[in-house]
Amino acid sequence: MARTREFDIDQAVDRAMDLFWRRGYAETSLQDLLKELSIGSGSFYAAFGSKEQLYIRSLERYVSLQGSGLEETLDGAPDIRAAVRKVLASMIEADLADPTRGCLVVNAAAQCGDQPSAADRVITAIRQVESALAGALERAQARGELSPEKDPKELARFLTTFIQGVRVVGRARVGKEFAEDALAIAMRALD
């Protein structure tokens, strides 16, 4: 008779996500995961399949959490400039508060180029950010907040690229002034 699982899968994914986020994929061993999750290898393999599969689930969890915050800020925003500034400033503040962590998606992009499933998940995450921004910019344009000469999709791609770049320089600890100057220039793209 099979034993019943004695741990919460969602909590385990959250804990693994935190460990991968702090240490990186390559620096997180199976033993680290087993210790962090307080489970044996049999339970680990039964629940997650492999370290890489758990990493993908962790990335998906991170993207879900970050994406819902992004969409919430952009969807209900009566002023696109304030909403975009809020999104970008919150990322800068998060990186300033804990520069060693950075963004899990950016970390994965830098660390997992040889893992097709992780690379695919990174691309999907970037496209989701682009899509959320493009939708918000299109709605703002329809309300007259954005010039009809602006292309919402192009702006969304620029802002998505800016986000990834600002997350990288946040890890480099360039400082608040550097990031805020860059943010001011990025915001001009909406003018």
Domain segments of the chain: what residues?
55-188
Average pLDDT in the chain: 90
CA distance 191 to 179: 20
At the topology level of CATH, where does 55-188 sit?
Tetracycline Repressor; domain 2 (1.10.357)
**Own/partner pairs, 180-187, CB within 8 angstroms, 24+ separation:** 180/92, 183/85, 183/88, 183/89, 183/92, 186/88, 186/158, 186/159, 186/162, 187/81, 187/84, 187/85, 187/88
pLDDT at 1: 43
pLDDT at 109 over 70: yes
pLDDT at 51 over 90: yes
Distance of alpha carbon 145 from the chain centroid: 27
163-186: pLDDT as tens digits: 999 888 888 888 889 989 999 999
pLDDT at 130: 96
pLDDT confidence band for 117 (50 / 70 / 90): confident
CA distance 71 to 73: 5
